[in-house]
Structures are given as structure tokens and as C-alpha cells.
A and B are shown apart, each in its own frame.
Chain A
Amino acid sequence: MTGARSRFDCVVVGGGHNGLVCAATLARGGRSVLVLEAAGQVGGAASTREFTPGFRVSAGAHLVHMMPAELIRELQLESHGLEWAAQGMATTALAPGGAGLNMSPDGAAAALSAEDARAYSAYMARMRRFAAALAPILARVPPRLGTSDWVDRLALLRIGWQIRRLGRRDMRELLRIGGMNVYDLLEENFASSALKGALGLDAVLGANFGPRSPGTVLTLLYRMAAESAAGASGLSQPRGGLGALCNALAKAASAAGATVRTGAPVANILVEGDRAAGVVLESGESISADTVISSADPKSTFLRLLGPRYLDAGFVRRVAHIRMRGLAAKLHLALNRAPAFGGVSEASLRGRLLLAPSLQYIELAYNHAKYGEFSAAPVMEVTVPSTNDPTLAPPGQHVLSAIVQYAPYALKGGWQGGRQRFMDTALETLEGFAPGLRSSIVAAELSTPADIEQEFRGSGGHWHHGDLAFDQFLMVRPVPGAAQYRTPVDGLFLCGAGSHPGGGVMGIAGRNAAHQVLRAGLKSS
């Protein structure tokens, strides 16, 4: 890169969606910005790649449902090439050998008993009210605890007020269920196993939890709150896969004046006089910057890129103890015909299919993971993106993309030998719900957490950059002392999923971090 600038106001480490949102926001705020992405293309865990000739798939996340509509408008992503292949996608709960349960986004579900149907719409209405109350909390910078700063106190008051204004009845109910497990909550409400299984899966998707784990109602509310904050589009699929969303983000960042470099892995963050001063690439090239913003996960950022010697021991201890061992694998199938799931219409196939026939089924799948084994009968979130977006596969053929749980990062015996066995288990499980699927497979790929760690450079192969759990939310995400996007080292900020509000393709961490950087700049000038 001869002749390239070697000095920027801001360097953003990592060109995933959060890094790009951060870069675009900073560039719009008038900063000179450089984004450094290690891979050959932007996107990170929100990218699209060809996994076998002619078949492309979202390599990590495969649905967009948490990115605020307001952010998409603000960055004018639609004029930078973002198109939607599908929006407001429906969810179907698969049943083995039977009719699936269609769950429309508005809370009605066909094929339920009258009692369950009534309970379901009441439950959804109530949970949506809670989610709406919690949504503003997700969008803001979390307050620090134990300070006398009025900004922090005001933010805490605001959280209290959001909950209080639900009214006495709802507030009591929210406080009652807030610490519960989702198993008990769903058992309280419904009779249908398929419904409970499908609702329960959303509480544990991507988490180190089974439905009976404490705090799973909170993780479910978190997901719903993020969806609520995102707006009304619901489950969506960008044309060209998730990578297309990040390409649009990169264009938006470039249009605002940011430089985006791919194939430029960062080796370490430079510190001069106890301040971040830039980065050194693995190639040896060094780039100076006033501010470094890392979208890498907190362990990679602090322990690998920065190094413990620039940090206090207690802080390093907290970072080292962040729970972030992935339990979700990703299955990609190239199919020579559309899969036929029992009882799933052609329309439903365009939506999201949940393979979790009952809460007990999920809990049993999770039991294995507790002891370092993969699930004998895994749970899945399945999409067939080519049904909405024919550009992903050759004409008439299809790609299937599934999140498969539970696949513990530290598998007993290692993933080298385990990968093929888990793939066989997953395919066998799928075959039970879509007879004949195996005979239509052209190519198959399974990304285990170990592969995900390699591909997306996220410690532990955890795509949320840390478990979403009560003790890793809000002002303790990723750890106290770095939960407001600032870090103990001046000039170094975090902007990735490891920060509040966390994983899912949201972009809020990137935007909040950018605002913190801009605010910090205002104060010093």
C-alpha cells in the first residue's frame, strides 16, 4: 500500500457489521476513519460466501431481525445497495412426521387448541409490552454503577421508570418472571409441546443454556426487546445474504469518507504514554491513530491485541473469566431440489423453521453439552434462503442454512474427529423431519465453534462475543470498567458484540461506540 495514508483520527479493528456501523457513524461525524478487516471481504460473521461451486450462503448469522430501521435509514443502506429478499418472515415449528405449527409474527398460530390459541395471543401481547419497555434500554449506553455522575444516575432512573410505567400489574409480572427459566414460564402458559418447544428455542439460541437454566426468560425478553427496538420489519433476509448488508454498510462508510481495507489483519494495538496510538498489522505495517476502536471480541482485544501488561490485573482477570465458549454450529447444505419438510407448505419454507419439538427435547439436547459432548438429537433454526433469493443457488437448486445446537467449543476428544460425526447426527435429525433430504445433498459443510473461531477470529467461536446472560448484560458487558465502550486505556474503545447490547446483527454497539468516541473528542477539544 505505497502512498496510502498512515495516520487517521480513528482506526476501526474489524469490518463486521458493528465495525462498519461505527466507521460510518464516525466518518459522518467528520473523523478520518480506516477500517481494517482481516478477511478478504467485509462482514465478519455477517458475510456471504460460496461454500461449494454455485452455492452461496450466509456464513454466520443468516437472518436480520434486530437492526434498527432507524439505523438503516440513517446510513441510507437501501441507496447503497441493500435490498430485501424477504421481510416479515413467518416461523414454523416442525413436528416429527406431522403438520408443522405455523406461527405468524402477530401472535396467532393455526392448529392450536382454543385454549392455547387464547393463551398464546395474550402471552405474546404481554411479552411484547415488556419487550417494548426494555427496548430503549438496549439502545442506550449503559450507566456505570456506584458513581455520583448525574448522567449515570439519570440513566438508572430511566431504566427504573421504563419498568415502572408498565403499570402495577405488568411491572409485578415482569419482576416475577424476570429471573425465571423459560421452561417454567411456558409450562405455566401452554399445553402444546410444539409451541412450547418453538418459543423455548428462541430463549436459548446461541446461548449456553437449556430451557431449564435460570435466567432464560431474560434472554428471551432480550431477544424480543431487540426485535422491538428494530421496528416492524420482523425476520428479514437481505438479497445476496448477510454479506450484502455489510457490503451496503461498507459503501455507506466509504461514501461518508471512511477507508475500508480488507486482507489487513491487525497484529497488535500500539500504546504510547498509556494511550492507544494506532495499530500494527500482521504484515508489519504500522498505522497511527488518535483513537482505536475494536470490534473484535473483548478477550481478543484485551488479551491478544493490546496485551495484559497495559492493563490492571483485576481487569484482566475479569476479561479472562468472560463466559464465551460457543455452543452453536452452522450447517450449510447444497441441495439439488427444494427440501420437503413434513407438513410445511411452500410458503412456510420461505420462513424460519424451528426444529425443537418440545422443551424436554431441547433440555435433553443441552444435557450433552454440559459434559463436553454434542447433542445426540440437536435442535436447529433452519432457513432455506434460496427460496427467497434465487441468486444464492443455481436455477432449481437450493441452499439450506441451519444453526445447530448444542456443539460445545471444547468437545471431548476435539472437533477434528468430532465434526463428521456431528454432521451425520445433524443430517440424520433433519432426515427425520424432511424425509429424502439426504438424497438431495450435493455438498455439505459444518462449521463447529472451533471453525467459527478460526473463520471469524472470535474467541471461543462464540458469535455473540460472550454469553448473553444476566451477569453479562448491560453495565457488566463485557466487564465493569469497559461497559461504556471506553476501556481503561485512553483512546481505545470497544464497538463489537461483546459490548452492550450484545450479539445478533444489531449494529447498536457500533453506533453507541462511535457516539462515545465523538463525545470524548468534544470534551478534549
Chain B
Amino acid sequence: MNQASAPHFKQPLLKTPFHERARALSQVDSFIPWAGYTTVDVFTTMEQEYFAIRNAATLYDLTPMVKYRVAGRDAPAYLNRLVTRDIAKLKPDRVAYCVWCNDAGHLIDDGTIFRLGTSEYRICTAERQIDWLLDSAIGFDVEIGEVTEQIAALAVQGPTSCAVLKTLGLGGVENIKPFEIAYFALGSHQLTVSRTGFTGDLGYELWMQPDAAEPVWDALMEAGRSRGIRAIGSQALNVARIEAGFLLPNVDFVSAERTIRTGRDRSPLELGLGWLVDFKKGHFTGRRALLNESIDGPRRQLVGLDVAGNKPAHNALLYTDDSGKREIGSVTSAIWSPTCKRNIALAMVDAPHFRIGSTVWAEIYLNRELVWERRMSRAQVVERPFFTPERRRATPPAEF
């Protein structure tokens, strides 16, 4: 099963266990590399796939998410020293969104930690970082191993996702609360289901052995036929995640282990993730630096912007006023939100301009048939997420 053991130069990109199914459904042959795998960017059109997320049910192959198994006597102590949240509070069969920092209190990565039963944990994250995880293990009785290839993962997201899973035969799936984990059998296959996702909508993530991948995919497509199920690529997901206000590594922040220039790494306080930092739980890597930073507050912060007009403020520089003289930040992610009908963005803004309600000006460049136009658009700092429907948290969710 281990594809990586084949000579790597013959297969620079690995195929996920869902690849053959995805290949069959791909109409525009749009594949992109992701963490060493070839994955679908768009199956048909981005818009069609996006609207399936918000109005029906979708399948998204998230096998390339990097997964580490953490087990052993000191696993809870180890994780508590690794991440900024209090993992001691994470109950069995629950999931926590976490960030972890270097000594300077700068973000190495974010991800979810699954507590599978009493003594085993799984870290799901975007980037490989076994070196940091192993260095963090010095002095702890803990086993750490990468299990990315051993687990196939599929996100089932959208308003009808719960109904699809019920039709599939997962009895009681409607009772899973957000960030909760449950276990099901589907024929001869075991399924681990967590109510988690990257869309900010009602949704679940299914974790299984690679040999279950194709049967589960086929059964889901069959079960979801009458509820508009559709496979989606990364482009549609990206629109949904910006609406949900979620951060993307290397887009909204760069891991502190990868930055080269000074001042390019970001603390959780700067990323607006201060709520994830628990100073009272005892020591964790970066605590002393973050405590220092929290005294004066962060010098900049990642915020949501509501931008005037309908032109997404891609990569726009931000200014105090429309003269464009004083630069105070830049946009990291921007879209026209089809659901909110607003022109939204995530942006890093200097103090004190990141306060909710502040006005900033975005310098937007528009390419109109190869003629570039520059537009200064007023933007307002607003609360994130931009879109958070009630169904995201409702348990059991309403039938759609």
C-alpha cells in the first residue's frame, strides 16, 4: 500500500485512494499538487461546486491532510506542552482546533487534534512537521508516527450531508455534536466520523482504511443521488472557507519554521486566535513570549474586511485613506461571497486600525482586457466569520 516506497522519481505525485473515482468525474482535467498528492482543483465549474456546498451535499477528498498518531503515557502532557489550548480538557472522542508555536510565540501551524478513545490522539494538519513534533517529544514518554498514507479521508459537507449519511446507513449520525467523533460499520468497513470541516457549514469528515475508500465513495454517491451530492475541488472549498473565516497556511500566514525574513512570522494573537491561547493551563512552547506580547497587545492583526464594490481585493495593499500615503497592511485572501452577497477579504492590518468598525482603504488593481486600472475602495473591519448558518451547530440538524 505504501506508494512512497516506489522509486520517488517515477511518481513525483502520489494518488489518493479516491483518485480513480475523482479522475472519472473530472470534466475539465484540473488537478493540482497538494502535500505530495495530485488532487482536484475543479471537477466541473467552481460555481457549481460552491453552490453544492451551501445548498446540497459535497464530497471532498482530504486524504493529503497530514496525519500524525500520538500515543503513550505522556501523550496528554506532550500535547499540552505542544499546543496553546488546554488539551487536558479534551474528552475522549472529541476534536479540538489548535495552534502550536515556536519559542518566540510564532505560529508553526494550525490543525485539529482528535482524541480517539482514552489514550490515542491524532494531529491533522496542513504541513509535514515531524521534526518539530519529535523535538517537542524530548523528555516525554510518547510515540509519534505519521499515518497520512494509512488513512483515507473524505469530507461530506453541506446542508443535506446529515441526511445523506443517514441514508447511507449511519444510524444516529444526526446526534453527533460539533467536534464530536463517532464510529460506524458500513458493511465490512469501519468508519470514523467526526463533525468537523473546513466549510463553516453543516458537515462531517469520514476517516477510513484506504481499501474502504472506493466502496464508501460509491455508496455515498448512491445515497446522495436524490440530495444533490457532488464531488468538489479545492477552488470551491476555498470560497467556502473564506466565508467561514478559516485561515489557510502559506496564504494567510507562513509557518514560523519556513519564514526566512524577520518579522514575517505571526503569533496567534496577531492572527486573531487569542481565544485559543490558555495562559492558565501551565507551560507550553511560546507561552512566555506570548505573555509578553499580550501585555501591550499585538502590533497587527488578521481581520475580516467588507470591501466596497464587487471587485475582490486580491493581494491589495491597505491604507489609512484614499490618498494611499500611509500603508497599514495587506489583504491575504479575498473573494466575492456568493452567499453573503458581499465583497469580503481577510487582511493583516497594523494597530490600531484592526479594531472592529475601523475604515481602511484597499488598493485594487483591475485588468480590463489587458488595461490595468487602479481603484481605491473603502473597506470596513468586520467580525469573522462572514457566514455561519445555524445548521452548522444544530444537533440534530434539520432535514434539508
Contact = CB atoms under 8 A, between A and B. Distances in A.
Interface of A: 274, 303, 307-317, 320, 481, 488
Interface of B: 77, 81-82, 102-103, 132, 135-136, 138-140, 282-283, 285-288
B378 to A, nearest CB: 38
A66 B136 CA distance: 38
B138 to A, nearest CB: 5
A307 B138 contact: no
A317 B131 CA distance: 10
Given A307-B139, A308-B139, A309-B139, 20 more contacts: A274-B287, A308-B81, A308-B138, A308-B140, A309-B77, A309-B81, A309-B282, A310-B283, A312-B285, A312-B286, A312-B287, A312-B288, A313-B103, A313-B132, A313-B138, A314-B103, A314-B285, A316-B135, A317-B135, A481-B103
Contacts of B140: 308-309
Contacts of A320: 138
A311 B283 contact: yes
Nearest to A306: B139
B286 A316 contact: no
A365 to B, nearest CB: 33
Contacts of A308: 81, 138-140
A314 B102 contact: yes
Nearest to B80: A309
Chain B binding surface, main DSSP class? loop
Contacts of A303: 138-139
Chain B CB count within 10 A is highest, among A311, A320, A481, for A311
Contact of B135 (A274, A310, A313): A313
A176 B286 CA distance: 41
Contacts of B77: 309
Nearest 3 pairs between A and B by C-beta?
A308-B139, A312-B103, A313-B136
A303 B135 CA distance: 13
A314 B135 contact: yes
Contacts of B286: 312
B288 A274 contact: yes
16 contacts: A274-B283, A274-B288, A303-B138, A308-B81, A308-B138, A308-B140, A309-B77, A309-B140, A310-B283, A312-B286, A312-B288, A313-B82, A313-B102, A313-B103, A313-B135, A316-B135
Given A274-B283, A309-B283, A488-B288, A315 B103 contact: yes
Contacts of A488: 288
A317 B136 CA distance: 8
A506 B282 CA distance: 38
B55 to A, nearest CB: 44
B285 A317 contact: no
Nearest to A311: B283
Contacts of B138: 303, 308, 313, 316-317, 320
Nearest to A480: B103
Nearest to B288: A488
A290 to B, nearest CB: 19
Contacts of A307: 139
Contacts of A316: 135-136, 138-139
Contacts of B288: 274, 312, 488
A517 to B, nearest CB: 19
Contacts of B103: 312-315, 481
B174 to A, nearest CB: 41
A400 B12 CA distance: 65
A18 B315 CA distance: 58
Contacts of A311: 283
A437 to B, nearest CB: 46
* Candidate in B103, B132, B135, B282 with the most chain A CB atoms within 10 angstroms: B103
